[in-house]
Amino acid sequence: MGKSSLLARIVQFSSQQKFKVLSLDFQSLDESFFSDLRSLLMRLCFSINEDLGLAEDLPDLLNETHLGIKSACTRYLEKYVLRQQKSP
């Protein structure tokens, strides 16, 4: 089974189970996002936030002053995004 076929089956199964499915199209991003980890992670978090219709104060949620961008992104996903979801 190819990667695309596997991904399509996972999305289909998830939708049938009433799970939330987000689609992130990395091909639509400018190359500049891939040369800077901070830009890429911020864009990833922004896309998730937007697709799920969550709070718009994303910069405050991703305050990386003392954490660094990787830890801030992880904290945002674990403590904010996942806790607000009632289903997978």
Tell me if 47 sits within 8 A of 23, measured CB to CB. Answer: no
pLDDT at position 77 over 70: yes
Domain ranges of the chain: 22-84
Lowest average pLDDT, out of 40-44, 57-61, 67-71, 74-78, goes to 57-61
What's the whole-model pTM score?
Answer: 0.72
Q: What are the angstrom distances between the C-alpha of 29 and each of 15, 26, 39, 48?
A: 26, 5, 11, 15
Mean pLDDT of 37-48: 88
DSSP state of 28: G
pLDDT at position 13 over 90: yes
